[in-house]
Every structure is written in C-alpha cells, then in structure tokens.
Structure 1
Amino acid sequence: MQPSIQLIQVLRTYCDRLEPDSMADLRLSIQRGRYPWLRDELAAAVGNTDLGDDWWSHAIGDHVSAEPGTAERQDCLQDRLWRALFPTEPPPQRP
C-alpha cells in the first residue's frame, strides 16, 4: 500500500529539503495534537522497503533523495526526519 496523499502533502509542506526549522514546526504541530495519524503512517511507510523510493522523492523532493548513496542515504535521511519529529522514539525497523 502506498503512503497516503495526506502524508505526502504534510511532508511536502513541512519537510521539503529536510530544513530543520520546518521540521521543528511540524514537530510542534504534532505535539499540539495536529496530524494524530502522522506517526503511524510515517512509520508504516518508512518501514516498508517494498515501496521503493518514489514516494520519498515525491514527499521531500528529488533534489534531496536523488543524491548519490541511494537506499542507504535514503534510510539515513528517513531516520533523520523521524528523529526530528519523534526525538524520544527509535526510528522504525526495516526488514
């Protein structure tokens, strides 16, 4: 199952280029009760290696995920996003 359009839209709005200030804004919104579904949907998407990287490129922009390093770099960037949004929780496990 592909990530939801709402997940892609929120990530595109707040996480383009993984800018720290924008990710901090999203974390604050989550802490205030907005996007209660985001944690579970992001965990499912990050933990699903069958999705490939198209959804990730669409969510945060080709300019970030198109850099060399491919899957390993993508995992690192996804972990960075997760830690920015949910600093007290470990990133989702990938099979």
Structure 2
Amino acid sequence: MAKKDHLIYIYENGKLVVFNTLSGVLNQYLINLRISSAKMFYDNDYLYILGGDVNKEFSVESSQNLYKVDLNQLRKTKINKSVVLGNNLVEN
C-alpha cells in the first residue's frame, strides 16, 4: 500500500486499486504483473513495486525485482471495476 494526498494505492497479484478518499471512489485496474505480497512505494507520480512472491505451477519463488508504474498512464488505462463506497457498482 502507498498513498499520495487523497489517493491510496493498493497492489496485489495483477490488480492495482486506487481509492480516492475525497470522493469515496474505488477503481481497480488490471496490470500485467503477477506478484503477491510485494512492498509498494510512491515517488514523483510513480509507484515502485518491490520484491514479493511469484507463483509458479508447483511452487512459490521470492522476487528480487523492482517494477516502476507510471501513474500518468492510469488515465489511459481502462478501469476494470469501480465502486463508490456506500453505493452500488458504477458502470463503465
């Protein structure tokens, strides 16, 4: 989990969730990164995803990789799911 101002970023196993604490909107994006239990940091409009576990067919391996996600690209990325807390699912 990482945060910047009123936005909270949560990543797990190919899903990046952005929660806007002002509007109550929770958006989920699918990203092509299959890592679980990673650490995440925010700096200068980038999320950095560090380490974590990679699930193989019959095993789990630790990752020592660092991935950089440009948050400006989220504006061009299709929202997979969107929820307004306290309301029903928002259609895209």
Of structures 1 and 2, the one with the larger relative CO (CA 8 A, separation 6+) is: 1
- Structure with greater proportional helix content: 1
Larger CA Rg, structure 1 vs 2: 2
Q: TM-score, normalised by structure 2?
A: 0.26
Q: TM-score, normalised by structure 1?
A: 0.25
- Structure with greater proportional strand content: 2
